[in-house]
Amino acid sequence: MLPCHQQIYFKNPDFESPPTNIKTNTYTPFLLLGRNETLPGWSFSGTVQYVTSGPNISLPGNGHAVQLGLGGTINQYSRTRDSTNMSLPSSLLLRVRTAITTPMLLTLLFLGDPRRYGREMQESHAYSLENFADERNLINLEIRSVPTNADSNVRCWPVVDTFLISGIEVPKFHGDNMVANSGFEVGPSFIRNSPEGILLDEESDYMQSALQQWSVLGTVKYIDSKHFSVPKEKAAIELVSAGAAPSGILTRLTLTKGSKYVMEFTMGDANDSCVGDFIVYA
């Protein structure tokens, strides 16, 4: 079974609580937030718009989100437990379909360098937050847009929807299996109304990975049996890196010289007509 994740309280994580000081009869899919408005749970600066799902834009669950325009930044503080490894799945949606060919850069404060988003029309990403809390166990979650050039199309600014911070349990060993988290049962929580799975970007440190005990090579997708045909158990990994970039996972074991071991794994097909080499190193 997938573990029951302990969720850390996060105010208005899906932006369903609307901004204050707006006219009750105001309806626009993109509402520019100014100094007279406040967004419950969040601080913001720069160009930030409150987005409402409608004919011109589709959001998971027909809900709400925020669009980060030029210099747009949102942030919120959240408290963790000092012994808890945290993951942060975040669902990002680009406003228009033509924006798929022009991925945008976003900076999450705790990650430092800008990350590129927009491989697909709608994406969910997860990151480990271990060791990012301060001495008071506070995490400052800040996300800001980064223009790729001076003439960036305002229609292509990213729309951010739903943040979830939840504790990840420590993986356990089962029977004589030497691989911890062998069925990928310990990973980030899946966001409600997001059937596309969760993208995990490259992470060489298996202790810092959102997929506990596994290093991530390139980009992989964490999927569940509710929305995908998972060969075994409740979760699986799909290898998704594009082009010549490698995609895979890696774990480390301590073996005894002269002993014999049997490695077994289950592999399925995404049925998406993709062709590539599958290599196992041991």
* Closest listed residue to residue 211, CA positions, set 227, 228, 197, 194: 197
> In sequence order, what are the beta bridge partners of 51?
30, 65
Q: Who contacts 273 (Cβ-Cβ below 8 Å, separation ≥6)?
A: none
Mean pLDDT comparison of 64-78, 193-207, 241-255, highest-scoring range: 64-78
* Structure confidence by residue, pLDDT tens digits, 96-133: 323 444 455 566 655 555 566 655 667 788 877 665 55
Interatomic CA distance for residues 27 and 69, integer angstroms: 20
CA atoms within a 13 Å half-sphere pointing along the CA-CB vector of 42 = 30
Say what the pTM is. 0.79
* Structure confidence by residue, pLDDT tens digits, 163-213: 777 777 778 787 889 999 999 988 888 877 667 788 888 888 888 888 989
The CATH superfamily label for domain 30-250 reads Galactose-binding domain-like (2.60.120.260)
CB atoms within 10 A of CB 59: 22
* Structure confidence by residue, pLDDT tens digits, 208-233: 888 989 999 988 999 988 888 887 77
Q: Who contacts 84 (Cβ-Cβ below 8 Å, separation ≥6)?
A: 6, 8, 167, 168
Given a contact cutoff of 8 angstroms between Cβ atoms, the answer to whether 196 and 123 are in contact is: yes
* Closest listed residue to residue 100, CA positions, set 160, 156, 30, 145: 156
CA atoms within a 13 Å half-sphere pointing along the CA-CB vector of 9 = 2
Collapsing DSSP states into helix, strand and coil, what is residue 249?
A: strand
Q: Give the distance, in angstroms, between the CA of residue 245 and the centroid of all CA atoms in the same chain.
A: 20
